[in-house]
Amino acid sequence: MQKVYLDNAATTQVREEVIARMQQALSVYGNPSSTHSYGRSAKTEVEQARKTIAKTLNAQPSEIIFTSGGTEADNMILRCAVRDLGVQTIITSKIEHHAVLHTAEELEKEYGVSVRFVELDKDGNPNLKSLESLLRADDSKKLVSLMHVNNEIGNIIDIKRIGELCKETGALFHSDTVQSIGHYPWDVQKTPIDFFTAAAHKFHGPKGIGFAFIRKNSGLKPLIFGGSQERGYRAGTEPFHNIVGLEEAFVQSYANLEEETKTVKGLKQYFIEHIKTEIPDVTFNGLSGDMEGSTYTLTNVRLPFDKQKGLMLLFHLDIKGIACSKGSACQSGSNLGSHVLQEILSEEELEKPSLRFSFSKYNTKEQLDYTIQVLKEFSES
């Protein structure tokens, strides 16, 4: 039996360079907030990591705030925008990550914020006319929150045009960019956006660390109180080893971006072509079968199996050593199924099992051949 990991949208294998850097960092045990030499040594590396990330994004170091990951960063930005900036209306979509959707729901209860949902087309992309209509509907202070790359179906939104619409109408713009940071080039001077978020473990870094980009002079105030760390935005001793691990993963991702994008894109194209050959009735959810309209890192397939057979599919793949998923890892304990697919598929289509296969530089065509062969044999059994 082979061992095949095709759940890279959930988390990725940590690069060897990152592990080595973090092991080295563990010997630097000073508290970065301490003023003695031990603390200064750690603080220097934390600030260097901030500068490195900012330079790649064409941002200012003060605009990079380290967090425990994307979920915390999304929560912080949405909550503080309502509390500190007077946001009265949140415009989002029903296929966002639950870090955004559930936060918006809570803000509706706590602050009476109006939560409005942009219409989606049949593939799951936000309708820009619907967005513009919502933006111009009234004079309330608005925040738009739409993810750059959908974590389940891989659709890529027109982030620049959406940012321009927000700017034209005076709305703030936040994007969950957890699936795109580390995989696509970014320049915050060319992208009209106020806030976005990242998580290191999505681009071969450690879990438990990420960052928020918060545009200078945004007006946001701290969410977590207790100390002056992270420019006062986030109290608490900085996880130094994780921060330098994030930096190393970030540096490696962008230093090798062109080569690794080509490799992973080739794997996705190969998977799409070969699964269509071996299982002709397979279909692709959203734009995940479109090499241009979706990210090169994942595809979401709907298989021609009946519901009863589909119940055993993930278990069967796991037994065969293949790791993939039905959707977001953050809702794996739920029996409700994918909220993303429920929004874009018909009842009949939802009866068929759907799986997300997500790829990385560590995968091979031989692994994909094995996976497709296991699926084919299961379909014929």
Q: Catalytic site residues?
A: 330
Token look-up 């994918």 returns 338
Token look-up 């071969």 returns 204
Integer angstrom CA distances of residue 145 from 92, 166, 193, 266: 5, 10, 10, 31
- Distance between CA 313 and CA 323 in Å, rounded? 11
- Distance between CA 85 and CA 88 in Å, rounded? 9
The 3-state DSSP class for residue 236 equals: coil
Token look-up 């934390």 returns 46
CB 31 within 8 A of CB 43: no
| Of 172, 180, 220, 226, the residue nearest 203 (C-alpha) | 180
CB 267 within 8 A of CB 363: yes
